[in-house]
Amino acid sequence: MMLPKINYIKVNTLTEAYDAINQCLGELSILAGETDLLIELRKKDLDTHQNILDISNINLLKEIKENGELIKIGSLVTHTQLAESPILKKHAALLAQAASMIGSLQIRNRGTIGGNICNASPCADTVPPLVALDAEVTLSSIDGERVLPVADFIKGPYKTARKSDEILTCISFKKLPEGCRSHFIKLGRRNALSIARLQVAVVGMLDNTGNICYIKLAPGSSMPTPTRLHEVEKMLINEKPTSDLFVEAGERTAQIMIEKTGIRWSTEYKKPVLAALVRRGLEKVFKKTTNHGDTETQSR
């Protein structure tokens, strides 16, 4: 493979990493699992010099921990770890579910949650669940730490609020309330090694009268920046979970996508399909058993 000339530094601790960043002249890329970075490097001119800081040895960043009501995920946690985590399966199942759909086994063994967020691809699979969980990222540098919601950290396709001397160290969010259910849907062109074309992350719960008392909805691959759809959530909150309501919520989501992105060649397909996926996500979260047959039989 043709790569530019590389100046490679590997560190074992965060302190070493901060030192390396401060000493480095010129641009520096942080390397975690390398599954996005390597592809980026291939696109560079062969005669450019590239500084690479490999943080993959910092063991401190490789754990998923419970901290009271909080779950804290180190930025070097791999997708395989996410997918297999009993903590996540219990308190934020949709994140484990999303991670299990990423790439292939090999990619999941290497790729990290921090890399997925920092790369900020519009179709990153952990992002819609994290947005639906109101997750926050911790950015650390020699000057200290700052905390930002994931939805604010990602500024646009492949753009983040990270400053060049900052390392993403931790992702944290509150455990979902007891009885809350979650679901993630990914639509791609095949079942493995598939880039998402549309995603839907839903978290929700009914109160004891059967009304929706908790709902967070974050579509992916369809908006310029990842975001919860507060408007659609408002349509749903305190309402009975009926098929008609879910259909409406889906249609409204699709409209918002068009308002935000305009009409593209793919819109004709994506509009009805996003609506259907949102409806299905809601059905999955709010119904004991989904029975597609109930709702509609004819394709729209």
Ligand X SMILES: Cc1cc2nc3c(=O)[nH]c(=O)nc-3n(C[C@H](O)[C@H](O)[C@H](O)COP(=O)(O)OP(=O)(O)OC[C@H]3O[C@@H](n4cnc5c(N)ncnc54)[C@H](O)[C@@H]3O)c2cc1C
Rule CB under 6 A: which residues touch ligand X?
29-37, 75, 102-103, 107, 110-112, 114-116, 118-119, 124-125, 162, 167-168, 193-194
Q: Which stretch binds other proteins (CB under 8 A): 80-88, 119-127, 171-179, 285-293?
A: 285-293
Q: Which stretch binds other proteins (CB under 8 A): 15-23, 83-91, 158-166, 287-295?
A: 287-295
269 binds other proteins per the rule CB under 8 A: yes
Structure token pair of residue 190: 């095949």
| Contacts to other proteins from residues 92-111, by CB under 8 A | 104
In whole angstroms, give the CA distance from residue 275 to residue 268. Answer: 12
Strand boundaries in 157-237, DSSP class E: 159-160, 167-174, 181-187, 198-206, 212-220
192 binds other proteins per the rule CB under 8 A: yes
Q: Which does 296 bind (CB under 5 to 8 A by kind): ligand X, other proteins, none?
A: other proteins
CB 221 within 8 A of CB 199: yes
Q: What are phi and psi of 127, to 5 degrees?
A: -70, -50
We find the least distance from the C-beta atom of residue 44 to ligand X, in angstroms, to be 12
In whole angstroms, give the CA distance from residue 273 to residue 71. Answer: 33
We find the least distance from the C-beta atom of residue 121 to other proteins, in angstroms, to be 12
Structure token pair of residue 250: 């889906």
Q: Which does 119 bind (CB under 5 to 8 A by kind): ligand X, other proteins, none?
A: ligand X
293 binds other proteins per the rule CB under 8 A: yes
CB 150 within 8 A of CB 171: yes
189 binds other proteins per the rule CB under 8 A: yes
In whole angstroms, give the CA distance from residue 212 to residue 243. Answer: 13
Cβ neighbours around 105 below 10 Å, total:
11
Structure token pair of residue 40: 């980026």
Q: Which does 272 bind (CB under 5 to 8 A by kind): other proteins, ligand X, none?
A: other proteins
3-state DSSP: the chain helix, strand, coil percent, rounded to 5? 35, 25, 35
32 binds other proteins per the rule CB under 8 A: no
Contact residues for other proteins (CB under 8 A)?
A: 2, 46-47, 104, 187, 189-193, 195, 268-269, 272-273, 276-277, 280, 291-293, 295-300
